[in-house]
A and B are shown apart, each in its own frame.
Chain A
Amino acid sequence: MTIVIFGGGGDLARRKLLPALYNLHVDGVLPPRIAIVGVGRKPMSDDDYRAFAKAGVEKFSRRPIEAHAWEAFAAALFFVAAEVDGEQALAPLGARLDIVEHERGLNGDRIYYLAIPPTLFAPTVQQLARSRFVPPPEGRIARVIVEKPIGRDLQSARVINDAIAEVFQEPQVYRIDHYLGKETVQNILVMRFANSIFEPLFNQKYVDHVQITVAEEEGVGTRAGYYEQAGALRDMVQNHILQLLAMVAMEPPHSLDADVIRDERLEVLKSLRPIEGEAVDANVVRAQYGPGFILGKAAPGYTEESGVAPASTTETYVALRVCIDNWRWAGVPFFLRTGKRLPKRASEISVHLKEVPPILFNADRSARLDPTILSIRIQPDEGFSLGINSKVPGPHVQIYPVKMDFHYGSTFGGSSPEAYERLLLDVIAGDATLFMRRDAVEAAWQWVMPILDRWAERGRDGLAAYPAGEWGPSEGEALIESTGRRWMAP
């Protein structure tokens, strides 16, 4: 197996891909014969690339480098300088791959990882076809991994997907949403469908509402160029959060086959009630962070960040009230929110069950019982907990919400594999369960587009503000509090 990383000298490769591959190597789960070939514009020797990779692994791997393991891993690393412009742009790459594969006894199975800006997706896959990398020789494997963002709207997503489809068939395409590779996200399916207690409760009879929060403590940092064009809705909601929603809300699949599960996730996306026109103003809040404090330190506002236009209307926070119009979830609102410069980095799903009738322990409306909440913590502090009202020992009836808390760290010890480890391994194994299919990507864009269109119409109008370090703007609180509910902070 040969893994060719376009953008092999870039940030994603250094922070995520190379450390993930190293950890898979240490775990002994990579194919015994493998080559990892970085491709980039800037020339670099193989030794330089190994040094680049080592620095990335040292800094970002969940495990420290072990000399023996590193030696074997480094021997499988190579680098080729190549551009995607020009008639024979990838010819040098082809020649080098032939040599490397011959020397290492590889059979020509290849994975092409597009860790490059979306604007280069189409030219790169076209070059792969032009240089006859694809289709591969009879019996050999060629797969392509595409990083998000896949487009910045429905039209551009279709353009990218069409370009990829001209070269690769859909089963060869692995669109990564790294959230789906997280252990806790995978555990949603296990929790729901491997325990008899939860699945019977996951419907409109028992669930009052669901909250999904994906909070980032960081500001825009060095990504202003990208983020100014994206914003929170495109960067987080269109992909990660809608995928999380789909995992929580999907029907039980009849098998664990990748397409069966992906069909069920797609059904949820197709069942989302469109939010269009003025309904956007009532059901979606967008905001931008201003100056504030993060962990005791002063933090600048978004428009004071380097690379951000002073008059920018890019949203750094978005909160939505979403309805799923199907039998299971009719009448159950899903409240979604994400933002930058929130008080902490945390991703969490909470399923709030309906209250018990106000007859016995809930009779005093001024001292209501806590509702039963199932919290699924995706990061950090991975695990889930179930709040249960319980009697405090003693002569009086005093009730306290206790937690049944499953905590990965204390239960299993060891560090969980990074999402990219699992996802890369799945591509090697040809399992597409945790990857987004074209139809799902486009369904998500289709649902998001009316919101983007409405914002484009309104410009700055309706863009709220919140201080850095707060849980968003007051409008975000009002969105949920107007329904008699409250956000649960992670």
Chain B
Amino acid sequence: MDGAVADRSWRASTPEAIDADLAALWRDVGRGETSVARAVMSNLIVFRSPTSAAGGDMAALVGGVPVEEVAARHPSRVIVLEHCHGEAPRAPSASAVGILTFGPPTARYGVELIVVRSACPEPSLLSILRRFVRGDIPTSIWWTEDMSDAAPSDALLTVGRQLVYDSRRWRDARRGAAAMAPLVRHHRVDLADLNWRRLAPLRRALTHARGQLKSDAWRGVDVRVSHAADEAALAWLFFGWLRSDGVGCADPAPMAEAAATAARDREGGALLAIEIGDMHATLSLRSADVVCPDAPPLGVAAAAESEADAVAAELRSLAPDRTLAAALEAIVERFER
């Protein structure tokens, strides 16, 4: 289910008329020569800052976020919420509805898309979301903003089972961790960090290496992590992973420019470089590689994954990622010290 959009039907709507307008769109779609089945595996609330796009074009309304690609991979009722904090309770100011159609003519399926623009205080935001989510399917919130800048409100989190975000967007890891603190402490929603997925090859490689080297040998060893520019959050996630496993680690530091360049040349663009005693590991976009003395080099390929692939994979996962939660807890603790 990851084909391109075959057709887009959409119309401007009013908040009160969204259900009726969606029903009318389905009737229009249903009158076509090709039958279109509705596909809906979850509610996906896409939270984003208000854009200047208005009225005319659905692609513009959801521009900048790969909504269509995610819907193709994990058909959901997509609710794009453009929200800015308002002073007084008031109805959403604008909305649009659409149906994205996918699949070959013999097996067409359609995905519902609702775009709502609102400016109201947080308590009244919930009443907007409750109106549009379906209760018989899981609800995920995809926070497309930098959480170190703006964190999801309590109200928003009460409607979802899962919060999908990307710590790679964090401009400030410390503030990002501070924003995560209440979520980590209260376990209110399952957390899904797209950046965390990028660590998977490194975690596998090191876990394997630790098995070979008897993991107790890591305890008390000096661990240093350095990261490429814009990869501080990734480094902190790695830090949290080690800490949550009882392995001490110094605070991550940016790679020295010369070292970064050398690493890029050598490893095809290293994102992280790690020293664990006399063991060296790097994570690049292509692989995680571990070099230990007295053992052959070890490499784990990093699968190329688009943002849409990553979001869809997280949406399909209904179990909480306890390892991520533990890593986040360790990061939060470190920053609160």
> Which residues of chain A have a CB within 8 Å of any CB of chain B?
217, 292-298, 343-345, 350, 367, 373, 375, 380-381, 385, 387, 392, 398-403, 405, 407, 409-415, 469, 471, 488-490
- B242 at interface, CB cutoff 8 A: no
| Complex CA distance for A398 and B315, rounded to whole angstroms | 12
Instruction: Name which of B29, B40, B318 has the most chain A CB atoms within 10 A of its CB.
Output: B318
Report the minimum CB–CB distance from A83 to chain B (whole Å). Answer: 39
Answer whether residue B137 sits at the interface, using C-beta atoms and an 8 A cutoff.
yes
B191 interface residue (CB < 8 Å to A)? no
Asked if B136 contacts A298 (CB within 8 A), the reply is: no
Chain B 84-139 interface residues, beta-carbon cutoff 8 Å to A = 89-92, 110, 118, 120, 123-128, 130-138
**Known contacts A409-B23, A413-B27, A488-B136, A400 near B318 by CB under 8 Å:** yes
Determine whether the beta carbon of B136 is less than 8 Å from that of A387.
Answer: yes
Asked if A411 and B89 sit within 8 Å, CB to CB, the answer is: no
Q: Which residues between 8 and 58 of chain B lie within 8 Å of chain A, taking CB atoms?
A: 15-16, 19-20, 22-23, 26-31, 35-41
- B317 interface hit (Cβ, 8 Å): yes
Q: Is the CB of A350 within 8 A of B136?
A: yes
Q: Is the CB of B40 within 8 A of A298?
A: no
Cα A392 to Cα B316 with chains together (Å):
7
**CB atoms of A296 and B135 under 8 A apart:** no
Which 8 residue pairs are nearest across A and B when measured between Cβ atoms?
A: A489-B135, A413-B30, A409-B26, A343-B130, A293-B124, A293-B127, A469-B127, A413-B31
Q: How long is the Cα–Cα vector from A39 to B110 in the complex, in angstroms?
A: 48
Cβ-based interface call for B295 (8 A): no
Q: Contact check: which of A294, A367, A411, A471 meets B319 at CB < 8 Å? A: A367
Contact partner of A298 among B89, B110, B130, B132, CB < 8 A? Answer: B89
Interface residues in B235-293 (C-beta closer than 8 Å to A): none
Q: B26, A293: Cβ atoms under 8 Å?
A: no
Contact A295 B91 (CB under 8 A): yes
| Interchain CB contact under 8 A, B135 and A488 | yes
Is A409 a contact of B27 with CB atoms below 8 Å?
A: yes
A490 / chain B contacts, CB cutoff of 8 Å? 134-136
CB neighbours of B38 from chain A (8 A): 405, 407, 410
Contact A469:B316 (CB < 8 A) given known A344-B131, A411-B35: no
Q: A350-B136, A405-B40, A415-B27 are in contact. Are A469 and B130 (CB under 8 A)?
A: yes
On whether the beta carbons of A405 and B89 are closer than 8 Å, the reply is no
Q: With a CB–CB cut-off of 8 A, which chain B residues contact A297? A: 89-91, 124, 127
CA distance A392 to B314 in the complex (A): 12
A401 partner residues in chain B, CB cutoff 8 A: 137-138, 318
| A412-B19 in contact given A293-B126, A343-B130, A400-B41 (Cβ < 8 Å) | no
Residues of chain A with a CB closer than 8 A to B118's CB = 296
Tell me whether A398 and B317 are in contact (CB under 8 A): yes
Q: Is the CB of A403 within 8 A of B40?
A: yes
